[in-house]
Amino acid sequence: MVKKYKYKDIEPSIHPEANVCSEAIVIGDVKIEEGVSVWPGAVIRGDFSPVEIGKQSVIEDNTVIHGAKIGPQTIIGHGAVLNANPIVRDKVIVGINATINREATIGRRSIVASGAVIPEKRVIPSESFVRGVPAEISPLEDSSIDIEEVFDRYSVEGYSELVLQYGDLFR
């Protein structure tokens, strides 16, 4: 059973077709859409501001989301932190232990490298590659990264299939 809790009489909304691990915590004004998977140790808090997680997105193990809007088909990597109302558009990959700070925006089809730190209110254009501390931005077309290959390798469909192998751990 999912660990979901009210905050000031606001209860999380989890789509019946979402897969939220029983070892994740979901609090307050949180909307999790169809096909989303939330993995063990994730904490999603909609207390000071709402959290919206778009269709078929993946929230990996030990991620912390405290007020955020996440577009569809986005992967948030292990241990990532999204704090204080960042916006992550659709089909974005956020790497392991990346941090996206207050009111930053990540454009669609971008890749945020593992360990990157996005400063407050930074706007990352669509189809960017972001890396470093603080984050440096490069257009994906200027990198050697084949975005389609990366999306194929880390497909949201693969995570949906993986969930089925865990039995009672997911609802």
pLDDT at position 168, please? Answer: 85
Length of the chain: 171
CA 82-86-92 angle, 5° bins: 80
Q: Where are the alpha helices (DSSP H) in 78-123?
A: none
Judge if pTM exceeds 0.85. Answer: yes
For each of the domains in the chain, give its residue range(s) and CATH number, in order of start: 3-165 (2.160.10.10)
Give dist(CA 61, CA 119) in Å, integer.
23
What is the structure's pLDDT at 156?
79
| pLDDT for the residue numbered 171 | 67
Q: 167: Cβ–Cβ under 8 A, 6 or more apart, which residues?
A: none
DSSP string across 30-47: EEE-TT-EE-TT-EEEEE
The C-alpha atoms of residue 47 and residue 28 are separated, in whole angstroms, by: 6
- Structural contact between residues 60 and 42, judged by C-beta atoms closer than 8 angstroms: yes
Residues of the chain with pLDDT under 50: none
Q: Output the CA–CA distances (angstroms, integers) from residue 71 to 22, 23, 52, 86, in the order listed.
A: 23, 23, 8, 11
